[in-house]
Amino acid sequence: MAVLTGKKAPSFSAPAVINGGEMVDSFSLDQYLGKKYVVFFFYPADFTFVCPTEILAFQQRIEEFEKRNVAVVGCSVDSQFSHWKWLNTPVNDGGIQGVKFPLVVDQSKTISENYDVLAGEYDYNENGELVFNGTPMAYRGLFLIDKDGVVQHQVVNNMPLGRSIDETLRMVDALQYFEEHGEVCPADWHAGDEAMDASHEGVAKYLSKHVKI
């Protein structure tokens, strides 16, 4: 598994469905450079089981991301037609109607490969035929990308394990606090908590105040 944290997020241009039903041929995260933070997350497939719980949870909290100047973008290996159909299917029928943030198309699986979340790989069999070994879908990868296009946080879950929206927001808050104040955020830090100076004295002061063993 590649570690992209601290590196430029891989660039791409791909079809997507935006605003809950508008198909576009060329969508790129580059549009956010210098303007917004990005939470870019992969999910295995449309019309599945854990995936809608995550996607709808992001939509339910979308205002919290927007007030932090964060764009939320999803991606799977499904087509734009599958995305469109799912986005226009009522929740009670297994759809995600009401979701407005972009869903990117990765039918070629190259975006998933570049972010190293593809659950398998292409190889040649003994007959010289190109085959896919594994599951041709993405793991539940999530990447927090800053305004400079650099990945600051990543987490990858296996397919049965849903992600925490609270933890994603916590990491956004921690990144933005560090950028604004220059102080580092200790374990389980939340907005409003005390941070600490990144020095021996700062660590000692924080530990003496907050850690009791």
Beta bridge partners of 31: none
Spacing of C-alpha 139 from chain mean position? 11
- Buried b / exposed e over 11-47, threshold 16 CB at 10 Å, is ebebbbbbebeeeeeebebeebbeebbbbbbbbbbbe
Q: What residues have CB less than 8 Å from 183, skipping those under 6 apart? A: 177, 195, 196, 197, 198, 202
Residues 86-114, mean pLDDT to the nearest whole number: 97
Q: Which of 74, 97, 94 is nearest to 84 (CA)?
A: 97
Assess whether 51 carries a catalytic annotation: yes
Mean pLDDT of the chain: 96
Please state whether beta strands 118-124 and 103-105 pair in parallel, antiparallel, or not at all (unpaired).
unpaired
Angle between helices 50-60 and 165-181 (to 10 degrees): 40
| End-to-end alpha carbon distance in the chain | 35
Q: What is the pLDDT of residue 78?
A: 98
Q: What pLDDT shows up at residue 124?
A: 92
More confident residue, 102 or 122: 102
Q: Which two tokens stand for residue 179?
A: 């950028």
Q: Name the band, by pLDDT with cuts 50, 70 and 90, for residue 204.
A: confident
Which entry of 29, 38, 51, 185 is annotated as an active-site residue? Answer: 51
Local confidence band at 211 (pLDDT 50, 70, 90 cut-offs): confident
Q: Tell me, what's the pLDDT at 2?
A: 86
Q: Which residue has the tokens 């070629």?
A: 108
Asked if pLDDT for residue 82 goes beyond 80, the answer is: yes
Domain ranges of the chain: 14-162
For residue 104 the two structure tokens come to 């990117």
97 three-state secondary structure: coil
**Contact criterion met (CB below 8 Å) for 143 and 153:** yes
- Give pLDDT tens digits for 15-68: 999 999 999 999 999 999 999 999 999 999 999 999 999 999 999 999 999 999
The one-letter amino acid code at 82 reads S
Mean pLDDT of 88-97: 97
Q: Which pLDDT does position 140 carry in this prediction?
A: 98
Which residues touch 67 (CB under 8 Å, ≥6 apart)? none
pLDDT of residue 1: 61
CATH class of 14-162: alpha beta
At 122 the pLDDT is 84
Average pLDDT for 2-22: 97
How much is the pLDDT for 213? 79
At 130 the pLDDT is: 86
Least trusted range by pLDDT, from 97-106, 122-131, 173-182: 122-131
Helices (H) and strands (E) in the chain, counts: 6, 9
% of the chain at pLDDT higher than 90 = 88
Residues 124-164: tens digit of each pLDDT: 998 999 888 989 999 999 999 999 999 999 999 999 999 99
